[in-house]
Structure 1
Amino acid sequence: MSVNITVKNATKRYGQATIIPDLSVDIRNGELFTLLGPSGCGKTTLLRMIAGFNSIEGGDFLFNGKRINDLDPGKRNIGMVFQNYAIFPNMSVRKNVEFGLKQRALPKAEIAAETDKFLKLVHVDQYADRMPDKLSGGQQQRVALARALVIKPDVLLMDEPLSNLDAKLRVEMRTVIKDIQKEVGITTVYVTHDQEEAMAISDRIAVMKDGVIRHCSSPQNIYQRPADIFVATFIGKSNLLRAQLVNEGERTFVEFESGYRVEAQNLRPEECQNRKVLVSARPEELLVNVRPEGEVSKGMVAVIKDSVFLGYNTHYFVKLESGEEAEIIQESEINALIAPGTTVYLTLNLKKINIFDAETEVSLMTGIMNSTQIPRSDATREGE
């Protein structure tokens, strides 16, 4: 049985240091929910609080509405997968997967049947009689996943499970994890610091910093409409350009330090005020134009400093007249690489850029969906 996990006003302290000050979140039944953030942001601490491995200094943790704060870890019916696999080196693959079932004293026939089922599910059934040291890292992690799932836990917790694998195996295993999670339908809480990994596998992502969830939504919404500058710069790459909002009658313009101005789009009406802002433009949202000398230009003047040809795309590194630097990604054209030292003109994909208040660093855009707060039972979850 899968469960809904509710965390209300969680607090975690180590001595005088507060790691998680006051965190609330609702993790939905059957979803793959990822805690994402830099080292030390509190994501693993929160995971261990859910598991019962860390003490709870404040707040409530509930599975399907039942408070579990004081429930022993062994009674929470949780499956765990760690980054170091944590499979028993002195047991064969089959015996590793059987272990949890034997602890529950199930009949031998049921143990054999369930073990076979999950060995096949993670595609390691052909290695059932091998010892762990004869397996690759990816195969060992599949065994760890089978062992966690075979006991039919209510919740699967995964703590940086792919960090010890090479790049190719990480891509392979994240597909495996996503596919199996969907097939089994178990509520899964996944911890990682890898943004691409989180984007690839998650139903929702909670981006954390200093024990606070800064944005909680779908991967697409977090990438396209980040709630603040930290989220915008942590998820993918983002160029931050200084500018001003300028009201002229019923129209609002974004005016850059170079004097280039464009009409603002997708701003919340109440935020259309004269103020200093930061414009976040991802590398693919800046467009490079080269014009013949003497032609009247429209755009921000910049100079190509360097370029990196990566096949389908070329990355350009430029310096603007304002002194700001930016990275641009555009589709490569045959024999058309722009040479360093070339003056170019930058324009923006106005539908995709994000605008933040320069002081508060909070987004001024419409379309932000943030389901950080626990909804009332009679309320519709924001972002659903």
Structure 2
Amino acid sequence: MKKFSWIKLVVIVIITAPIWMWLAWCFTPKRKMVVATVDKTVLTADGQEHISLIWMLKHKRFTKTSTKLYQISDYFGFFPKDDQKYLVKGLERFSSSQLEQLSNDADMAFFTDTYGIYRQEWFAGKSQTERSGILYGGMSEQDLILLKNLKHQKKLIMMEFNDINSPTAPNVREEFEREFGVQWTGWIGRYFDSLDTTVNVELPKWLVRNYIRQRGAWPFKKSGIAFVSEKDQVVVLENETHLDTEVPFMVSNTQGQEEYGLPERIKYPYWFDILRYNPKINQVLSNHEIYANTKGQKELRAAGIPSRFPAVIIHKGEDYQFSYFAGDFSDNPIGMFSTYFKWIEYIAPWFVHDEAVSERNDFFWEVYSPLTGKILEDYYKEKVLTKPRIR
């Protein structure tokens, strides 16, 4: 009789693991949770700005009906078509009664991006380095009515970077800020791995142009962080010249780490907005931190930009539930195929080796997945299962 081989067993387990993971996902019960997703910045049919949300809903078997899983096309906003054609299917077409009905039917809303689509990027080669005339974008009065209705009905609201920034009308923004206890300072920012205009083709031309108009020249060649105000004021902190650490970090407090599974520190080299919040209403789980040297701190102080500001703001109470991710959290290079495998979140991070996407991939698995997953799961168990729907 041959001896039992543990090596062969391990090999068999590894080879058959995807099958068992897929079967486990298939036999996980579906759970109906109606999510009203709004995305007004959809340049291509892959829905990059809300793909991470759809991944989470599908992976966790949340459904829009009793049987149908969520798809990329399940959102309100801008829908690109072939030959530079498009459809706009936002909440702006809804009457007051239709908005009321939607707020009754929906269990929650997730606004992933209201920045919108500009003519330059849509009609002139889809270049995102220029801005010229908006086609569609900004939080609308109808969007705000839905959000207020959901809050009144004690439902979950999730928001993200650029939902209340330009091109949202000031009166809509101000009403949202009063209603939900967050305030945009007027500044956004992003890290760039190169500020050299001859090297980095993704460096926005309008950003460089506005800086030259204000300062006379663009002298930067290294990596750095660019800040832009709603009035097109530009502040640039260059690595070594203004920064001790070139990349911003997202730093989570004890609650963020222990309750939501967030890492204590992780690089955050993407777009972010700089917000204030009312501590009597909301609490912060994580902050963005900029590590500027003396020269950089002087630049920040002169512009009124803090070096530490909220990254994740939440309100969790019996009255309503609310979260605001002050960054481009949902825009990740995640493929939908992986949704079909249970426990994939524990395995997938080890198999991505493409340096071009590795940081964004790490962010999805280490931040977006545990944070969004926890919020969705808690809300479903506490509210959706226990409270009758309003009809």
Q: TM-score range by the shorter chain?
A: under 0.3
Larger-gyration structure (1/2): 1
- TM-score, normalization by structure 1: 0.24
Relative to its length, the structure with more helix (as a share) is 2
Greater strand percent: which structure? 1
